[in-house]
Structure 1
Amino acid sequence: MDIPSPSYSSSPPELSLAPSSPSITNCQICEKPGHGNHFGAITCRACAAFFRRFGITNNFNLCRNNKKCGLSKNGLFSCKMCRLKKCKQIGMTTDNFQFQRDSFHSGETEKMLENLERKIPSSMSTFTGRPNLIIYCAPKDEKSDKKLIDVQFLIERASDILIKGSEYPLFASNSLGKLTLGLQNLRKIPDLSKTRYITKIGQEETFQLYQYDVMKVAKWLTYFDEFQKLRHSLKMDMLKGFWIIWSRLEKLATVAAARREGICKENQVMLEIENHQIMVDTNKLEIDLSWCSRYTFEQLKFFGEPEPNRINYMAATMANLQPTDVELTFMLCQLCLHHVGKRYQGEILEVSERLQESLSNDLHDYYANKIKMRKYSDRLASIMKVNNLVRQGILQRRAKVEFMNIFDVFYVEYSDPEMFVDF
């Protein structure tokens, strides 16, 4: 997928702005506030840039819905082909495209571009070869002082993963067994030679964690056969409710195992990002919130207990439990399904309860027939204790964030707020 670089110029040169007047209406493509007349239609900047990019190249996947896709509730298209089709239907034309706008000779132009490329600073994405699926943008409009975090590319990538299905064919006697194999495939044995020690977490590290977690959960769900049978829009809604709480529990299991094996100490946290193990000392960690708040991390402690204290207690509880891979898989499923069922209600609640019942039967089969544990009520109670601790932490965090929003602590907004309700 080609990912456009964010532009910080006040107005792209290829877009002709109509004079500001009350006659400008909403965008004829996405129905968001219009910005002017672009290529023969009243559009917003985003739709104009989209047409400028794809009006001739058509460099995107074919429509999966027989060219009958509509607008989503937030005004965003999930299908580029149908978006371009609408652009052309309302009269947008490529006649005014300017392909050779500079007056330099080709040799001079190439030399100028070469010199320009030398001046472009190396970003994390160019250094690691990892595309930026989360883009930190300017305010959505001139009157707003809120920065926008655009996660649309991230959502599209996760959607593609769910559509394509699992990377590797796995076979098991039931869904819990197959999900366990999928989890083992995604959770690699720590390679201590690749351990990186970091003392500061800022915008880049935060976005990298978001991106890795969403991709990891999406890949794991491709091994859940019953989940894959649901309609795609329902799967995406559930994924948005899954990823944060799933990653909390999965990271907790990683930290607990590392501390139990002596890989990291009590105040250290081990995280996994792609092929690297990240080691963090919570007593020495500097958290830079300047990209999202006017307050420092120390000042925000006013709103509640620092997170590391709770992590240490939860990690100790998980270490004492020492769940098997099957038990950890069940914990992840139960925690996520129960959470999204209560959050969304309606059809998702019905689906979640049905899937939980099926997985509970699989867990009973594991205890009774695989490891011959006839009495496992105490074991289940310990499992639910850990899950309840994670769930309570999410709810407490959500209450803190709502309290912070009252005081306008953060100056960022997400293009899809549903993905960050539980943060």
Structure 2
Amino acid sequence: MNQVSTSTSPFCCRICDQRAHGNHFGVISCRACAAFFRRTASGKWDNQKCRGGSCDKKTYYCKPCRLQKCRDMGMDTTKFQFNRDNIPTAGQFQLPPQTFEAYVGRPEFLLFCDTDAPNSKVLIDVRYLLEEAGRLLNNGIITPIWAENQLKKLTQGFKHIKLDTDNIKKVETADQKEFMEMWEYYFITVTKWLMYFDEFQKLNRQIQMTMLQAIWHVFSKLHKYVATSAYQKATPRAKPTEVIIKDVMMDIETVNFDCSWMSDYPTKDVFKFLSAQACKEMDIVGTLHELDPTDLEITYLFAQLCFEYVGKRYQGDILRVAEQFQEILANDLHHYYVEEMNRPRYFQRLARLLKVNNAIQRAIWESRPKMELGRVFNVLKIEFSHPEMFEDSGYY
């Protein structure tokens, strides 16, 4: 992956896309838009129709449209920070802030963080990954695939999921090279795996690529747990702190985590930031040990997690496609349980398996405010040629 140093604004106003100056009325925005909302929030422009007739999605010329944009982004007069954004009513006054932290509007540990200062960003160019995925999709699978249903066809691609316990590498240092190899591995692996799914092959290329860019990192999260479970099962003396990422084993207690290329913050703080999506409330590896799912069940877990996530993220046509995929695979799974496993009462087992996926998605949703705060204060100094590919990944 290519690296280029550049300087960019740390964040933009959600209203006008100009350089932002802070959190005003609950929204990252510039001072001009904050002042506009302060003046007009309780004025005559509220709930009025567009005055100009030419306001589009990016430019808001008239006051009613600009005010509506503020509200759509979440601005609210009840959302203020340390009394800075409160609109006083008649006869009311604002008390002065009690602390210096309140005055500057930042917690103590960020008092001296200058978000307006220029900083050197590391640009990660992932265009070649997209080109490689397109090439793979164009070439298709060399050997024809035959199976009685779609879930079993996807399961034939389980070789792209299953850990080869005889060829595991151990790393003592997690540096830039390891991170980039991980991103590359999972994006290409997901592409190869989904080529076993006929319904995915029928989609137009634009939808395919959009789904791939969203799916790869949720796939990687589940793969880490599934691979770690397989490793611990094959290695009785494995330590609880040893985890598998792609085909690499690292001990998270002893690994030398080099984050100097991605952040100017202390290593321990960056590690905590990147761990925001960890499923702390559920022992996923323990659950997988206990249930010991078959290859077909694991394949279904990967497909259900990926398609449910991408559908909720994009809505519209992609949501309809994702729901169709899930229905097809759920019917195939039902046939597997009832006809092949002679297990008509499989609901409880399936519910326990799906708790794994639910925990992963919940961890992603709950981490979003922290990721947003990280962008505001430039915790990570990484930029991507295709940022949509890294949304919700924990690195953007």
TM-score above 0.5: yes
RMSD of the alignment, in Å?
2.4
Counterpart-to-counterpart distance in 2, 1:167 and 1:187: 20
Counterpart-to-counterpart distance in 2, 1:145 and 1:308: 29
Q: Cα–Cα, structure 1 residues 140 and 243, in superposed 2: closer, same or farther, change >3 Å?
A: same
Contact map agreement 2:122 2:381 (CA 8 A) in 1: yes
The match for 1:85 is none
Deviation at 1:263, TM superposition (A): 5.1
Where structure 2 has 5 or more consecutive residues not aligned to the other structure, the ranges are 10-117
Counterpart-to-counterpart distance in 2, 1:304 and 1:219: 27
Say yes or no: does 1:244 pair with 2:217: yes
Where does 1:328-347 land on structure 2 (aligned, <5 Å)? 328-347=298-317
User: What secondary structure does 2:6 align onto?
Assistant: coil
Deviation at 1:155, TM superposition (A): 1.0
Look up the equivalent residue of 1:139 and give its one-letter code.
Answer: T
Where does 1:135-174 land on structure 2 (aligned, <5 Å)? 135-139=2-6, 145-174=120-149
Say yes or no: does 1:183 pair with 2:158: yes
Q: Cα–Cα, structure 1 residues 304 and 209, in superposed 2: closer, same or farther, change >3 Å?
A: closer
Alpha-carbon deviations, 1:231-290, whole Å to 9, x = none? 0000000001110001111221110122133356243434365xxx42211111121111
Where does 1:5-404 land on structure 2 (aligned, <5 Å)? 134-139=1-6, 145-184=120-159, 187=162, 189-191=164-166, 194-262=167-235, 265-271=238-244, 273=246, 277-300=247-270, 310=280, 313-404=283-374
Counterpart-to-counterpart distance in 1, 2:226 and 2:358: 14
Counterpart-to-counterpart distance in 2, 1:388 and 1:322: 18
Question: Greater relative contact order: 1 or 2 (C-alpha under 8 angstroms, separation 6 or more)?
Answer: 2
User: What secondary structure does 1:146 align onto?
Assistant: strand
User: What secondary structure does 1:279 align onto?
Assistant: strand
Counterpart-to-counterpart distance in 1, 2:126 and 2:275: 29
User: What secondary structure does 2:120 align onto?
Assistant: coil
Counterpart-to-counterpart distance in 2, 1:370 and 1:416: 44
Identity of aligned pairs, percent? 35
Deviation at 1:144, TM superposition (A): 6.7
Look up the equivalent residue of 1:225 and give its one-letter code.
Answer: D
Contact map agreement 1:267 1:312 (CA 8 A) in 2: no
**Number of positions where the alignment pairs a residue of Structure 1 with one of Structure 2:** 285
Normalising by structure 2, report the TM-score: 0.67
Contact map agreement 2:311 2:320 (CA 8 A) in 1: yes
Alpha-carbon deviations, 1:358-391, whole Å to 9, x = none? 1110000100111111100101111111111111
Deviation at 1:297, TM superposition (A): 2.7
Q: Cα–Cα, structure 1 residues 297 and 401, in superposed 2: closer, same or farther, change >3 Å?
A: farther
Counterpart-to-counterpart distance in 1, 2:171 and 2:281: 18
Where structure 1 has 5 or more consecutive residues not aligned to the other structure, the ranges are 1-133
User: What secondary structure does 1:170 align onto?
Assistant: coil
Alpha-carbon deviations, 1:58-98, whole Å to 9, x = none? xxxxxxxxxxxxxxxxxxxxxxxxxxxxxxxxxxxxxxxxx
The match for 2:27 is none
Q: Cα–Cα, structure 1 residues 252 and 236, in superposed 2: closer, same or farther, change >3 Å?
A: same
Counterpart-to-counterpart distance in 2, 1:242 and 1:234: 12
Deviation at 1:140, TM superposition (A): 6.9
